[in-house]
């Protein structure tokens, strides 16, 4: 099929390359000329395992990029994969989506024949039908349910395993209100489903598909927060939370993934999406108590980490090494990283902060240009009065003699990754 993808961020680039891989002809539309040039030259504009190879293989053949929205006219289906950031009060900010829909609609005004527009971005329920579809119809002059259909296809890929997650998903969710839209969506996904490990295909309505995405992320974020709540109780009792959580994970109704207790969840998705669905729920008159509690527990974890630090070291004037700045291992993304509230609180407490991350230092420096940065965990620890472990990078599990160069070897572990040994004062958050 001929597909167009509007937006070449994490999701847009990954799905464009993967749709090309399963045999579609794909054009990626983005306003950023640098990203477009990079894709056309066969270079992935973001770092994701396996993406470079796919872009290199298909660029100039089944995959091309352009800044010209007119390219969508030669395609059957367009996926909107534009950012949906948060407003200050947590509400979803749809301005980029609306602008994209206007440009897309204007381009479709000159297309003869039918077109399907699919929302790929995470949007609160009813956005596709009540916000995006009317813009598309007004700009294109097309008739909804006639020569224009809209659909919704939420994305569940994770940063760091985006290609693998997309090509081998747990499920495919296809939201449509018309048979023609549903049939086109099936045609798009059939080759992907055929090469994957037989994922269930959920055919549902458009607003249901929108909600499935929030329900998925909200549930996972709440699962981690519940694990943190339980782990905090364990900590107060002196009980080993890891043994407790791994035991409950053996119950197939609970499951062992996303029970990793620690300093909490960050990233570009969980915090934004949980805030957006809470704000949307309140707008329709419902107070989502569980999701609000999930945020509250998450916000408390960095505060608790600092309390554990204060049990051993007064941060005022102390040299504190922060190990791990990325929001999770395997990425240089620092958006909503737990290191951000921690470093802010340390600076407020007049600590002398040195940060280390294997790959995320430059991104973190943009927000915190004034702290010190080390180029290895060893040099961050050298002379430090305490170390806070914030991201579970595997290399932190191997740190050993490096602790000997600390001024006082206090290690406060927010991810239970450091191997305990004699000669260090080890304190875990949970
Ligand atoms: C998350 C979802 O997992 C994806 O399914 C979804 O598509 C994506 O958001 C999105 O909406 O775009 P991602 O943000 O890439 O993916 O990262 P995750 O691997 O889910 O981790 C999120 C946060 O939870 C990280 O800060 C991680 O350290 C934390 N986490 C994860 C825990 O604290 N404990 C765990 O057991 C697992």
**pLDDT tens sequence across 180-224:** 999 999 999 999 999 999 999 999 999 999 999 999 999 999 999
Pocket of ligand 1 (CB under 6 A): 122, 155-159, 217, 220, 224, 258-260, 262, 264-267, 269-270, 273, 327-328
**425 burial via Cβ count (<10 Å: 0-12, 13-18, 19+):** middle
Distance 333 CA to ligand 1 centre (A): 12
Tens digit of each residue's pLDDT (9 = 90 or more) over 326-347: 999 999 999 999 999 999 999 9
Edge to edge, the sheet with strand 25-29 lists 63-66, 25-29, 2-6, 77-80, 115-119, 148-152, 172-176, 201-204
pLDDT of residue 391: 98
For ligand 1, atom 18: residue with the closest CA: 158
* Residue owning tokens 């747990």: 170
Pairwise CA distance, residues 402 & 236, whole Å: 29
**From CA 9, how far away is CA 30, in angstroms rounded?**
9
Between the CA of 260 and the centroid of ligand 1 the distance, in Å, is 11
Element containing residue 296 per DSSP (H, E):
helix 289-310
How far apart CA 427 and CA 410 sit, in angstroms, is 8
Structure tokens at 232: 């905090």
* Residues tagged active-site: 269
pLDDT band at 270 (very low <50, low <70, confident <90, very high): very high
Strand partners, 65: 28
- Tell me which residue has tokens 């943009």: 366
Greatest CA span in the chain, whole angstroms? 74
Q: How far is the CA of 93 from the centre of ligand 1 (A)?
A: 21
Phi, psi of 285 (to 5 degrees): 90, 20
In the predicted model, what is the mean pLDDT of residues 229-242? 98
H/E element, 289: helix 289-310
Q: Which of 220-224, 316-320, 418-422 has the lowest mean pLDDT?
A: 418-422
CA atoms within 13 A on the CB side of 95: 5
Provide the whole-model pTM.
0.97
Nearest residue CA, atom 9 of ligand 1?
Answer: 269
Query: Considering the chain, what percentage of its residues have pLDDT values greater than 90?
Result: 99
- Cβ neighbours of 259 (radius 10 Å): 21
Band of residue 244 on the pLDDT scale cut at 50, 70, 90: very high
Q: Is 407 exposed, middle or buried (0-12, 13-18, 19+ CB in 10 A)?
A: middle
Indicate whether 47 pLDDT > 90.
Answer: no
Distance (Å) from CA 336 to ligand 1 centroid? 11
Q: Is the pLDDT of residue 136 over 90?
A: yes
Measured by CA distance, the residue closest to atom 2 of ligand 1 is 158
**Length of the chain in terms of residues written:** 430
Residues 6+ apart with CB under 8 A from 220: 258, 270
Q: How far is CA 420 from CA 72, 356, 393, 395, in A?
A: 57, 20, 16, 14
Provide DSSP, 276-287: HHHHHHHHTT--
């Amino acid at each position: 099929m001929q597909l167009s993808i509007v937006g070449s961020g994490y999701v847009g680039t990954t799905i464009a390359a993967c749709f090309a891989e399963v045999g579609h002809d794909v054009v990626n539309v983005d306003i950023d000329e640098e990203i477009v040039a990079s894709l056309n030259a066969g270079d992935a504009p973001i770092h994701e395992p396996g993406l470079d190879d796919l872009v290199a293989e298909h660029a100039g053949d089944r995959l091309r990029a352009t800044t010209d929205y007119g390219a969508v006219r030669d395609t059957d289906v367009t996926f909107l994969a534009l950012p949906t950031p948060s407003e200050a009060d947590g509400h979803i900010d749809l301005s980029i989506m609306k602008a994209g829909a206007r440009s897309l609609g204007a381009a479709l005004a000159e297309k003869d024949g039918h077109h399907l527009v699919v929302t790929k971005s995470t949007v609160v329920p009813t956005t596709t039908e009540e916000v995006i579809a009317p813009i598309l119809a007004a700009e294109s002059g097309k008739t909804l349910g006639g020569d224009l259909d809209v659909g919704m296809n939420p994305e569940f890929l994770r940063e760091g395993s985006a290609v693998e997650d997309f090509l081998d998903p747990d499920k495919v969710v296809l939201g449509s209100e018309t048979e023609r839209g549903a049939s086109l969506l099936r045609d798009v996904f059939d080759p992907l489903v055929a090469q994957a490990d037989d994922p269930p295909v959920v055919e549902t309505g458009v607003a249901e598909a929108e909600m499935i995405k929030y329900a998925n992320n909200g549930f996972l974020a709440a699962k981690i927060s519940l694990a943190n709540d339980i782990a905090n109780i364990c900590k107060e009792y002196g009980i080993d939370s890891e043994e407790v959580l791994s035991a409950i994970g053996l119950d197939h109704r609970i499951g062992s993934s996303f029970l990793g207790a620690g300093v909490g969840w960050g990233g570009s998705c969980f915090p934004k999406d949980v805030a957006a669905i809470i704000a949307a729920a309140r707008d329709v008159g419902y107070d989502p108590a569980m999701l609000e509690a999930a945020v509250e527990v998450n916000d408390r974890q960095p505060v608790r980490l600092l309390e554990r630090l204060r049990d051993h070291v007064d941060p005022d004037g102390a040299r504190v090494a922060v190990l791990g700045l990325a929001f999770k291992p395997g990425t240089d993304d620092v958006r909503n990283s737990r290191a951000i509230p921690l470093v802010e609180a340390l600076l407020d407490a007049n600590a002398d902060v040195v940060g280390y991350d294997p790959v995320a230092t430059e991104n973190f420096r943009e927000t915190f240009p004034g702290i010190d940065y080390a180029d290895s965990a060893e040099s961050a620890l050298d002379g430090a009065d305490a170390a806070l472990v914030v991201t579970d990078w595997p290399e932190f599990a191997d740190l050993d003699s490096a602790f000997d160069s600390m001024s006082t070897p206090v290690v406060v572990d927010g991810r239970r990754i450091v191997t305990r040994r004699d000669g260090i004062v080890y304190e875990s958050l949970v």
